[in-house]
Amino acid sequence: KFLLFFLMARCYTDCLERPLRIFFCALGRLIGSHPWWFLTAPLMLSAGLGSGFYLVQNRLSNDIEEQFTPVSGAAKTERRYIQDTFPEDGSMFSSLRLSTAGTYGTFIVTHERDILTAESLQEILDLDVHVRNMSVEMDNQTFQYADLCAQVARGACYSNDILKILNYNARNLELINLTFPWYDGRFGRVPLYTSIGSVSLNKGNRVVQSAEAIQLSYFLLGDNKMVSDRWLKDFMALMSNTSMKKIKVSHTTSMSMQWEFEKTPASIVQLFSITYAITILFTVLCCWRLDNVRSKIWVGGVGVLSTGLAVLSSFGMLLFLGCPFVMTVASCPFMILGIGIDDMFIMVSCWQRTRVMDSPPDRLASTYGMAAVSITITSLTDALAFFMGCCSPLGSVRFFSLYAGAAVVFCYLYNITFLGAFLALNGQREAENRHWLICSKIPEELPPGRSGAFGVCCVGGSYDRATGKEADPVSRFFEKFYGPFVTQAWTKGLVSMVYVGYLAGGIYGCSTLEEGLDVSHLALDDSYIIRYYNNQRQHFSEYGQNVMVAVKQPFPYWSQEAQKMLCFVDFENLSYVNSTSAWFLSFKLYANETNLNVSSKEAFLSHLPNFLKLNPIFRQDLNYSMDEIHASRFFVQTLNTATKKETLLGLRRAAEHCMVELLVYHPAFIYYDQYAIITDHTVKTVLVAVAMMLLVSLILIPNPVCCLWVTFAVCSVLVGVAGFMALWGVSLDSISAINLVICIGFSVDFSTHISYSFVCSAKCAPNDKAVEALAQSGGPVLQGALSTILGVLVLSASGSYIFRTFFKVMFLVIVFGLLHGLLFIPVFLTFFTACRKL
């Protein structure tokens, strides 16, 4: 094994890298000889493809369920079964039996001490009257809640249990002993835990002493969406304008999250302009030189323009092809800006290492020979990493990856053609010793009799006569100061200790990483629904969902022994299950009270219609004919004592292990499905992307061991980013999963440039090779990293969780990638003398 490793290490595999270098040299000479063709062609292509943005409104796809839930999630299959087997009865509404969230408006009323006082309850009752009497007009018709409400028995509107118990009279509270969590009264057994929250009970019994919150809901039939949406908006307006003396009100509707989510793009429009302004300023400053000829300010500006054209072309092309434009794609330009500017700095650095006296075509050929292969490696791995994300079951990840991958491809093509052509034109200006701003010829040295001010403004064109190359202060810093510093023995020991601490912190963070996207995070921070969700978590978090359990096969419900096969005990033994309820248990209780014998199939089916006539709500729990019950369902009340993932998977396991074919479902499971797949899918995507990156590196980097170092850097950065993002309060969800895929691309960018320069160095000693690699690539890597950080920095001020998360993870990616590229990898490469060109 050691011999194989040694032979791999000493093998300089340039069978593909060398022909590529020759090809890019020829391409550089061609572009340098005909720069105007390669400058105008991308502009014309961008103008054509960019017109696709006229279709962006038609391509918008911001449906939360489509973008943030698995396309083929198990819950969606379960929902279809429930809808087909147990169709909802519009004349007998039951929120418990809804296959979707329904159409509703709801509010939570809170009090600092006790909401169950006559004064507070009267204010709540007054607010209830305002909601019921609220009128909306559409098509010359007026609608109130009574016209749109979901109907229960005998055409009555859905109403709130707590108000029915009080008989809509606040004074009746003194006459009633409310019991929690269930109240047995004239309306039957009522679950009060859905109506009152933060309850204090009397000692020794379940009688409610006080409560801090009451929740009321108003369900609509929802058959006319336009009218329903109008009512919901008026409901929101009423709640927003409500001011109470003693109580506080927070509210939401079934459409609020969707409407609030759609406001997110408008919140970052201003950030785009700030980002590009900051990036242009930074790039210009990095490309500015004191020499009035060698200054490359226009190159820096064109580098930013080239990235913008890449985004314009790629997005426009995909919009023409009919690809949906999703919310997460809005963060893509910030990332592409960093990738494009990084490549631009590499090209400028390589240009400065060419001979000044050579012709512009020859200088561009030499520049491409040094830079193009490195840029190709990083661009190819970036694009592959993103395109791997297209396999994601989450629409937000899939379409982001598609747009990002296409943008990387165009960014690469435009940097090679458009930016390269302008670099050649700038080279022509330099060859003629013309001023960077006014393009007039200026002297290389200060003419006699001229002032110092003239020398500052109107003299330029100097270069290092000994080497024939331009002076680069950043490269000089890395060559003379930073490189020798990090290659000292004591520095290497210190760096190794720092790395161990970094890795330990990353591994610890990974062990604390939480999964899943809280739907409330999709709204802006100042949204009114944030307050509602906070109140819900504070006051109504003890009880979870009432989950449907469907029996998918005919079953002998009349047999007491057979009922044990329905796994009631298995469900109730779960720590997060509070109770179960079922129609057949109520039927058995009814049979006992009426002295009916229902222990045989014939008797059971013959008495069932009378029971259902008295209790018509249970009709929705059965799919039956006169001689057979084909399917039915019962309910399991859960507690919020376990994570959403544990609850979902635990209930599904209990159903799978049962001898009877069961299915568990709740509308919230549509969103919980992400918890079941996010970790496994992210790990698989990252592993495949890393494998693709390794393959590309093995083909294009002329040393296998150094390819392994690049792979090591990528994996190391991934561990660090995943761990420290957990410590920063970021969960593993569809948003951070996107960034972990990005992490691969940026990690390759930083480590590849250094490793490639190390391998191609003609030096013999490892320390000398590391110093030369840092001198050649350290400056562009540092400048590219800083430009990317500045590009995403403004997102830290965003009011959206999506873009703040993008900033946090991108910041970690850049910082850790830079740390590996400029510190860990150069030091570690010196530990192995085998990575050299033979």
The pLDDT assigned to 8 comes to 38
SS3 396: helix
In this prediction, residue 10 has a pLDDT band, given cuts at 50, 70 and 90, of very low
CB of 693 within 8 A of CB of 744?
A: yes
SS3 492: helix
Angle between helix axes 297-320 and 264-287 (nearest 10 degrees) is: 150
Residue 644's nearest CA partner among 580, 579, 576 is 576
CB of 375 within 8 A of CB of 347?
A: yes
The pLDDT assigned to 15 comes to 67
Stretch 468-482: mean pLDDT: 87
If one compares 78 and 516, the residue with the highest pLDDT of the two is 78
Q: Evaluate the CA torsion angle 330, 751, 757, 19 in order and state its sign.
A: negative
Residue 248 dihedral angles phi and psi, to the nearest 5°: -120, 145
Residue 64's nearest CA partner among 322, 329, 260, 251 is 260
Stretch 423-427: mean pLDDT: 96
Percent of residues, the chain, with pLDDT higher than 70: 97
DSSP lists the bridge partners of residue 211 as 199
In this prediction, residue 11 has a pLDDT band, given cuts at 50, 70 and 90, of very low
Stretch 31-35: mean pLDDT: 96
Instruction: Output the furthest CA–CA distance in the chain (Å, rounded).
Output: 123
CB of 721 within 8 A of CB of 808?
A: no
In this prediction, residue 13 has a pLDDT band, given cuts at 50, 70 and 90, of low
Q: How many CA atoms lie within 13 A of 31 on its CB side?
A: 32
If one compares 761 and 434, the residue with the highest pLDDT of the two is 434
> No. of H helices and E strands in the chain?
33, 13
How is the chain split among helix, strand and coil, in percent rounded to 5?
Answer: 65, 10, 25
Distance CA 139, CA 227 (A): 10
Among 158-172, 347-361, 750-764, the minimum mean pLDDT is found in 750-764
Q: What is the pLDDT of residues 92-118, one digit of tens each?
A: 899 999 999 999 999 999 998 899 999
Q: Which amino acid is at 807?
A: F
CB of 806 within 8 A of CB of 331?
A: yes
Residues in the chain: 838
Would you call the peptide bond into 181 cis, given omega within 30 degrees of 0 as the criterion? yes
Tokens of 356: 């000044």
Residue 809's nearest CA partner among 723, 691, 749 is 723
User: In 288-394, where does DSSP find H-type helix?
Assistant: 297-320, 332-352, 360-388
Q: Which CATH superfamily is domain 2-62+262-434+475-511+701-830 in?
A: Multidrug efflux transporter AcrB transmembrane domain (1.20.1640.10)
SS3 136: strand
Return all residues near 698 (Cβ < 8 A) that are at least 6 apart. 13, 704, 707
Using CA atoms, how far residue 782 sits from 84, 205, 775, in Å, is: 59, 68, 11
Residue 638's nearest CA partner among 626, 649, 622, 627 is 649
Is the backbone of residue 250 left (phi > 0), alpha (psi -120 to 50) or beta? beta
CB of 112 within 8 A of CB of 192?
A: no
The pLDDT assigned to 3 comes to 32
The pLDDT assigned to 188 comes to 78
Q: Does domain 542-672 bear CATH number 3.30.70? A: yes
Distance CA 427, CA 463 (A): 14
Distance CA 314, CA 308 (A): 10
In this prediction, residue 388 has a pLDDT band, given cuts at 50, 70 and 90, of confident
In this prediction, residue 834 has a pLDDT band, given cuts at 50, 70 and 90, of very low
Residue 553 has pLDDT above 90, yes or no: yes
Burial class (CB in 10 A: 0-12, 13-18, 19+), 269: exposed
Distance CA 116, CA 174 (A): 10
Of all helices (H) and strands (E), which one includes residue 678? helix 669-700
Q: What is the pLDDT of residues 286-345, one digit of tens each?
A: 899 888 999 999 999 999 999 999 999 999 999 999 999 988 888 788 788 888 888 899
CA 641 to chain centre: 27
Distance CA 399, CA 387 (A): 10
Tokens of 407: 């943008």
Return all residues near 826 (Cβ < 8 A) that are at least 6 apart. 483, 486, 487, 754, 758, 770, 773, 774
Q: What is the pLDDT of residues 607-619, one digit of tens each?
A: 999 999 999 899 9
Q: Evaluate the CA torsion angle 89, 94, 99, 101 in order and state its sign.
A: positive
Residue-range domain boundaries for the chain: 2-62+262-434+475-511+701-830, 103-253, 542-672
The pLDDT assigned to 24 comes to 95
Distance CA 632, CA 555 (A): 9
Using CA atoms, how far residue 127 sits from 242, 536, 630, in Å, is: 8, 19, 45
The pLDDT assigned to 424 comes to 96
Residue 38 has pLDDT above 50, yes or no: yes
If one compares 201 and 11, the residue with the highest pLDDT of the two is 201
Residue 209's nearest CA partner among 184, 188, 180, 185 is 180
Residue 147's nearest CA partner among 160, 136, 161 is 136
Tokens of 668: 């919230």
Among 229-243, 383-397, 748-762, the minimum mean pLDDT is found in 748-762
SS3 660: coil
Distance CA 480, CA 772 (A): 10
CB of 307 within 8 A of CB of 340?
A: yes
CA 217 to chain centre: 31
DSSP lists the bridge partners of residue 710 as none
CB of 576 within 8 A of CB of 650?
A: yes
Per the prediction, the chain carries an average pLDDT of 88
| DSSP, residue by residue, 188-240 | EEEEGGGTEEEEEE-TTS-BEEEEEEEEEEEEE--SSHHHHHHHHHHHHHHHH
Q: What is the DSSP letter of 487?
A: T
Using CA atoms, how far residue 440 sits from 292, 293, 298, 422, 451, in Å, is: 11, 10, 15, 18, 19
Distance CA 586, CA 95 (A): 19
Distance CA 209, CA 197 (A): 12
Residue 413 dihedral angles phi and psi, to the nearest 5°: -65, -40
CB of 814 within 8 A of CB of 788?
A: yes
CB of 158 within 8 A of CB of 151?
A: yes
CB of 691 within 8 A of CB of 714?
A: no
Q: What is the pLDDT of residues 436-450, one digit of tens each?
A: 999 999 998 888 878
The pLDDT assigned to 4 comes to 31
DSSP lists the bridge partners of residue 624 as 629
Residue 699 has pLDDT above 60, yes or no: yes
Among 61-75, 151-165, 261-275, 495-509, the minimum mean pLDDT is found in 261-275
In this prediction, residue 713 has a pLDDT band, given cuts at 50, 70 and 90, of confident
